[in-house]
């Protein structure tokens, strides 16, 4: 059964249960089939980043806070982030230039492949601001979207907005900033259609709380297929290139809907932040690897 050809209800269960083995069994392939070489991964992420940049400029001159932050992160990624590679326990630069942060592809045989739960992980290690990326297959447009989200975390680490040690509240607030930036990017890519369709989904299904969409994901596969395909085709008609991409797409759709519910209900900016932080915690508690992060803070 091919991931590229068919929506698989069992895979939805596996994704939201965090069951990696079931994910692989469902699509009938070994984990290596989801991987590319380190050089291919770097090319993929550079191409994906340039693709979303072409969609942004000169698409908008919006001065909203979310767009201002998006522009800052794009500039940061262009001017302040270079590629490095992992050699044992060290990082070796692959590019010359002045920078304050690095992106590295985790070699498939490296221990970080097991230690790092997610495809992307931004962190400060040994005084270096690092975005570690597992070399999984991704479509170009989504590689760019995910990278902007994670570059937001890397940007916050570099400017001191995210520290090496964080409280749960600080961690969740960082996620809100990252998802708001991702939403701003997707809005530009879809020319505003994404939020319009989400509004229709919310109204049609009478969603009133993040738990409502999580319930659909878990118990109504047909409805979730309709929702995910409707949102996904606004961005690209390409099928996910890997199980990991499917999981990350799903995570974004759920969060985008939850954030829009919060926007529709919030009375002011402060109330919106509170509601979106609550949504992040609710969603993270529903996914085991994310729940472990919450429990560790």
What confidence score (pLDDT) does residue 293 get? 62
Q: What is the mean pLDDT of the chain?
A: 85
Which residue has better confidence, 113 or 82? Answer: 82
pLDDT score of 142 more than 60 = yes
pLDDT score of 7 more than 70 = no
Where are the domains positioned within the chain?
A: 1-32+190-297, 35-166
Mean pLDDT of the region 153-157: 93
In angstroms, the CA 67 to CA 212 distance is: 29
In contact, 146 and 120? CB cutoff 8 Å:
yes
- How confident is residue 191, by pLDDT bands cut at 50, 70 and 90? very high
pLDDT score of 64 more than 90 = no
253-268 pLDDT per residue, tens: 999 999 999 999 999 9
What confidence score (pLDDT) does residue 140 get? 97
Query: Whose CA is closest to 31, among 109, 95, 83, 97?
Result: 109
In angstroms, the CA 296 to CA 291 distance is: 9
In angstroms, the CA 132 to CA 122 distance is: 6
What confidence score (pLDDT) does residue 167 get? 82
Distance of CA 244 to the CA centre of its chain: 11
25-40 pLDDT per residue, tens: 433 333 446 889 999 9
Supply the pTM of this predicted model: 0.88
Which residue has better confidence, 19 or 278? Answer: 278
The helix (run of H) or strand (run of E) holding residue 105 is strand 101-105
In contact, 121 and 42? CB cutoff 8 Å:
no
Sign (positive/negative) of CA torsion 117, 223, 181, 191? Answer: positive
Residue 46: DSSP 8-state: H
pLDDT score of 250 more than 70 = yes
pLDDT score of 16 more than 60 = no
């Amino acid at each position: 059964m091919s991931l590229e050809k068919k929506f698989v209800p069992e895979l939805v269960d596996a994704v939201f249960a965090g069951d990696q083995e079931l994910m692989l069994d469902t699509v009938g392939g070994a984990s290596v089939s989801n991987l590319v070489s380190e050089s291919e991964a770097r090319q993929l992420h550079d191409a994906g980043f340039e693709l979303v940049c072409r969609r942004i400029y000169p698409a908008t001159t919006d001065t909203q806070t979310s767009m201002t932050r998006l522009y800052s992160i794009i500039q940061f990624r262009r001017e302040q982030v270079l590629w490095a590679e992992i050699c044992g326990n060290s990082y070796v630069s692959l590019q010359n230039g002045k920078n304050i942060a690095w992106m590295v592809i985790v070699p498939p045989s490296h221990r970080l492949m097991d230690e790092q739960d997610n495809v992307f992980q931004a962190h400060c290690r040994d005084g270096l601001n690092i975005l570690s990326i597992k070399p999984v297959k991704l479509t170009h447009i989504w590689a760019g979207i995910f990278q902007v989200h994670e570059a937001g975390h890397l940007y916050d680490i570099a400017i001191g907005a995210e520290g090496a040690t964080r409280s749960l509240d600080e961690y969740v607030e960082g996620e809100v900033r990252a998802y708001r930036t991702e939403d701003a990017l997707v809005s530009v890519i879809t020319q505003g259609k994404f939020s319009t369709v989400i509004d229709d989904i919310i109204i049609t299904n009478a969603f009133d709380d993040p738990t409502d969409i999580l319930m659909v994901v878990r118990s109504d596969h047909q409805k979730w297929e309709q929702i995910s395909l409707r949102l996904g085709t606004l961005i690209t008609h390409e099928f996910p290139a890997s199980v990991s991409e499917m999981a990350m797409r799903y995570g974004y759709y759920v969060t985008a809907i939850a954030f829009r519910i919060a926007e529709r209900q919030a009375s002011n900016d402060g109330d919106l932040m509170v509601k979106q932080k609550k949504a992040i915690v609710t969603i993270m508690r529903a996914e085991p690897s994310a729940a472990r992060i919450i429990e560790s803070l």
